[in-house]
Amino acid sequence: MKRMLSLLALAALALPLSGADSKEAQRLQNCGTVLREIMDIPEDIPQDLIDKSECIIVFPSVLKAAFVVGGSYGRGAMTCRTGEHYSGPWSAPSMMVLEGGSVGFQIGGQATDFVLLVMNPRGAHSMLKNKVKLGADASVAAGPKGRTAEASTDATLRAEVLSYSRSRGLFAGVSLAGASVRPDNDANERIYGRGIEAHDIIFGGKGKVPKAAQRMISYLDRRSPKNTSDPRSLRED
């Protein structure tokens, strides 16, 4: 009887996780699909910018209506290069939330996928600790397209965050100024089975890559295994 009660107790503990994390797992899978599809577009995100980025955030299927009513939002995931100098493999992801901002950046009023490149450590660490308003707390610019970023303006290349969107088959660099990004702590708890700070998941090594995110992380490890940022830019102020 005691053994049976113990098994029932364990099963009861497992049920909330197995049921609650299914939506988050699907979201992680969608992030991986969106990332691969966008990066495989012929006139895609320049490879040199991907290689210089410290982190990548993906928000699949953000709806315009969510911004119109002033509520939430888009939900997605963020992963960063590991190691002291961001020279290691890509980390386990933290779930993230995109909120607010203007509806003007939407293309055609349909569900829009967003990919954000975080280009320096300050932007990476601030997003994982607090709600960051793009354009105010962190500089943001529409990311340039094409195989190289040689034609990019100095302002674009100095931005902490470069953003891209895809809607109805159209791919473009688009500014998300006015929107805010923050960790989704509740979703992280459902994915990892315990409360872990977003910063500790990515930079503290306290979360293993969930099965649902393995394709996304392995794709990034293959697509951009080496950080080509100027080492001087990796010093945190």
3-state secondary structure 143-207: CCCCCCCCCCCHHHHHCCEEEEEEECCEEEECCCCCEEEEECHHHHHHHHCCCCCHHHHHHCCCC
Helix, strand, coil percentages for the chain (3-state, nearest 5): 40, 25, 35
pLDDT digits (tens, 9 = 90+) for 31-75: 999 999 998 887 789 898 999 999 999 999 886 554 444 444 689
Q: Is the pLDDT of residue 79 over 50?
A: yes
**Four-residue CA torsion sign, 46, 48, 49, 50:** positive
For the whole prediction, is pTM greater than 0.85?
no
Looking at residue 28, its pLDDT comes to 96
Rounded to an integer, the average pLDDT of 126-154 is: 80
Rounded to an integer, the average pLDDT of 182-191 is: 95
Q: Is the pLDDT of residue 145 over 50?
A: yes
Using the structure block, give the residue that is written with the tokens 């599809």. 37
Looking at residue 66, its pLDDT comes to 47
Looking at residue 108, its pLDDT comes to 46
Higher pLDDT, 40 or 182: 182
- Tokens found for residue 12: 């009861």
Give the integer Cα–Cα distance in Å for 96 and 231: 27
Tell me which of 34-48, 147-161, 200-214, 218-232 is least confident.
Answer: 147-161
Residue 142 Cα to chain centre, angstroms: 16
Q: Is the pLDDT of residue 91 over 90?
A: yes
